[in-house]
Structure 1
Amino acid sequence: MMPSLFVAHGAPLLAIENNEYTRFLQLLGPSLPKPKAIVLFSAHWESSIQKVSNVDEFETIYDFGGFPESLYRIKYPAKGNETVTKVISDLFDSQGIPFQVDTARGLDHGAWVVLKMLYPDADIPVISMSVNPNLKPENQYKIGKTLSQLREDDILIIGSGGTVHNLGAITMASDGTVDQWAIGFDEWLERRINTWDLEALFKYSTLAPAAEFAVPPYGNEHFIPLFYAMGSAEQERSAKLLHRSYRYGNLSHSVWQFGESR
């Protein structure tokens, strides 16, 4: 049985940095049982209908600009797995969840930055999944719940995004100061996740302090991978905050584990 994870992918620079967070991620992968495959929901793949990849070998997408040339030389040539894609398709059919299979899209940086930190050899098959910011949180959670049995087959489910992700609010100050509103939002979130308070979590936009800053209007795509990952552990309803740190004043690097490895 694999746990599921919510992993903040931060800024693309993480792929070439050596800091507290990158070192944590590099140790996290080897600390888990090696998965047979990885199903990853990326904040950088938005669609109005659920997309499920079926790719022989992924291209690496550089969906950013103005960064060091070394970033654009990184490749993450993970392979897909048609059998896992078929299992996911059957699970969605059984629950009446609309979806489409995508045979062309590569891995965006919301996917490959995280994967390269956890599993640098790109030797684990990957199924890339889109997120739909227009779905209600309940329905995003349901999609994750529908995939929960994959964990019994040693498949790792990851939601890649960020709990506090407001590019308009970040600062480049290097003194380590963190905005109190960002801390307050994450602490509210921690309490509700630890008690699996879905009623409050699904209403985070009106109940959580500073939600309008942490998850700005029309910017919830980075927050919602949390619900997909959390839903996949519905049967156990156990959560563990593995890491939290901040960059640029308020950009949250939170990693949550849902369910247990056994």
Structure 2
Amino acid sequence: MMPSLFLSHGTPLLALEKNSYTLFLKEYMQTMKKPAAIVILSAHWENEDQMISAVGKHEVIYDFAGFPEEIFQITYPARGCLELSDRILTLLSRIDVLGELDERRPLDHGAWGLLHLMYPEADIPTVSMSISPSLPFYKQYEIGKALRELKENNVLIIGSGGTVHNFTHIQKDMHVAEGWAIEFENWVEEKIMKWDLQSLFNYENIAPYSTEAVPSKEHFIPLVIAMGTGDDNKKAALLHRSFQYGNLSLTAWKFE
């Protein structure tokens, strides 16, 4: 069965960078069976209602400013998959989450920034999904559980976010990780490996440096959804961890 992934998307510059994480993303995909389709949930598509893309061919949105001109030349013209979009609607309805199709939504950098590195040919049908920060974490996890059966059909599910992702704290000239960021990452790792959902759902109140690491939870939610897709086996593997700018974590988790 296809595993699912949680991947940090870093800054928009990730799409242009050459570092240990971008090398991992490129090489790891070579070890995996090629997916029949991709479903990606990005922290940068927030919506109160659950939205599901239903486009024929994807355009991209440059949801940032102040970066080199080169990054604004990146496109990701993967085709959509209306059949898959409709199936997701059905799966979510079973857990009383009413989805809505969006026929115009372009891919944001939380989606195309990763996919551009992982599958540069853009030849895999792709469906993007929004996240709703107002939903409690147990419901986010249920969304993952509902999507799980897609993995049986060789669909790769990716949650795109960040576990230490606070741009007000980054140190652009700092090349070692700060202790507080490492401590938060270690706490998250311990709870994931123990599949301690109660602690993860309450991370804001009990995790060390949670406010510094995750100032707003939209970047943490894709991790919870990705974990939900692995609920049957509850088997997790940390595939990669590195840091940029002193505390911006680049992590990759696999859930089977």
Q: Which bin holds the TM-score, normalised by the shorter protein?
A: over 0.9
What is the Cα deviation at residue 179 of structure 1? 1.1
**Aligned structure 1 segments of 4 or more residues deviating by more than 4 angstroms:** none
Structure-2 residue corresponding to 1:8: 8
Deviation by residue 1:206-262 (Cα, 9 ceiling, x = unmatched)? 11100011011xx21111100111101111100000000000110000000001xxx
Structure-2 residue corresponding to 1:184: 183
Q: Distance in 1 between matches of 2:167 and 2:176?
A: 16
191, 214, 226: which one aligns with 2:223: 226
Matches within 5 A, 1:111-260: 111-174=111-174, 176-216=175-215, 219-259=216-256
Q: Confirm or deny: 8 A CA contact 2:89 2:98 kept in the other structure.
A: no
Are 1:69 and 2:66 an aligned pair?
A: no
Q: Distance in 1 between matches of 2:86 and 2:121?
A: 25
Q: Distance in 2 between matches of 1:86 and 1:12?
A: 30
**Could you tell me the percent identity over the aligned residues?**
50
Q: Confirm or deny: 8 A CA contact 2:37 2:155 kept in the other structure.
A: yes
Q: Confirm or deny: 8 A CA contact 2:62 2:108 kept in the other structure.
A: yes
Q: Distance in 2 between matches of 1:72 and 1:82?
A: 28
Q: Distance in 2 between matches of 1:173 and 1:16?
A: 18
Which deviates the most, 56-65 or 94-103? 94-103
Deviation by residue 1:90-125 (Cα, 9 ceiling, x = unmatched)? 111222212111110100000001111111100001
Q: Secondary structure at the match of 2:93?
A: helix
TM-score (norm. length: structure 2): 0.98
Q: Distance in 2 between matches of 1:177 and 1:28?
A: 24
What is the Cα deviation at residue 49 of structure 1? 1.1
Q: Distance in 2 between matches of 1:138 and 1:201?
A: 10
Q: Secondary structure at the match of 1:221?
A: helix
Q: Distance in 1 between matches of 2:117 and 2:19?
A: 12
What is the Cα deviation at residue 80 of structure 1? 0.5
Q: Secondary structure at the match of 1:45?
A: strand
Q: Secondary structure at the match of 1:107?
A: coil
- Unpaired segments of 5 or more residues in structure 1? none
Q: Distance in 2 between matches of 1:73 and 1:191?
A: 40
What is the Cα deviation at residue 18 of structure 1? 1.1
Q: Distance in 1 between matches of 2:76 and 2:97?
A: 30
Are 1:105 and 2:74 an aligned pair?
A: no
Q: How many residues align?
A: 256
Read off the aligned partner of 1:8 and give its amino acid letter: S
Q: Distance in 2 between matches of 1:82 and 1:30?
A: 27
- Unpaired segments of 5 or more residues in structure 2? none
What is the Cα deviation at residue 173 of structure 1? 1.7
Structure-1 residue corresponding to 2:39: 39
Q: Distance in 2 between matches of 1:93 and 1:223?
A: 24
Read off the aligned partner of 2:166 and give its amino acid letter: N
What is the Cα deviation at residue 195 of structure 1? 0.8
Q: Secondary structure at the match of 2:52?
A: strand
Q: Secondary structure at the match of 2:77?
A: coil
Read off the aligned partner of 2:65 and give its amino acid letter: G
Read off the aligned partner of 1:71 and give its amino acid letter: I
TM-score (norm. length: structure 1): 0.96
Which deviates the most, 164-173 or 91-100? 91-100
Q: Confirm or deny: 8 A CA contact 2:146 2:229 kept in the other structure.
A: yes
